Amino acid sequence: MGALLVCPLCGHEWNDEPVEEAQDEVIKDAFGTVLTDGDTVSVIKDLKFKGSSTAIKVGTKVRNIRLVLDATDGHDIDCKVDGFGAMQLKSSVVKKV
């Protein structure tokens, strides 16, 4: 069948070309450094959030981050911030320490 291969039992057709492997999603900080689970990061700008009169200040260190690869809203880091509790951050507002 020309460039296609055909299964004689079921009739399924496919190319003989190798299939490209799906690339693993890489999450980078604000400066382009690759982040991994368990890293320690530092916040690079003040972060205000709803329901609190305080903000997370510049330079706050966040330890033991977990990366979320299927983040649809852009918040691709799960973490626990001292004094604030569990929350999600965007990788664009942190740098790797």
Q: Tell me, what amino acid is at 29?
A: D
| pTM of the complete model | 0.71
Task: Please tell me the distance from the alpha carbon of residue 90 to that of residue 75, in angstroms, as a whole number.
Answer: 4
pLDDT digits (tens, 9 = 90+) for 45-97: 999 878 778 899 999 999 999 999 887 788 999 999 998 889 999 999 999 99
- DSSP result, 76-87: -EEEEETTTEEE
Max Cα-Cα span within the chain: 69
Q: What is the predicted pLDDT for the residue at 50?
A: 81
Among residues 80, 85, 44, the alpha carbon closest in space to that of 63 is found at 80
Q: What is the predicted pLDDT for the residue at 66?
A: 95
Instruction: Give the pLDDT band (50/70/90) at residue 2.
Output: low
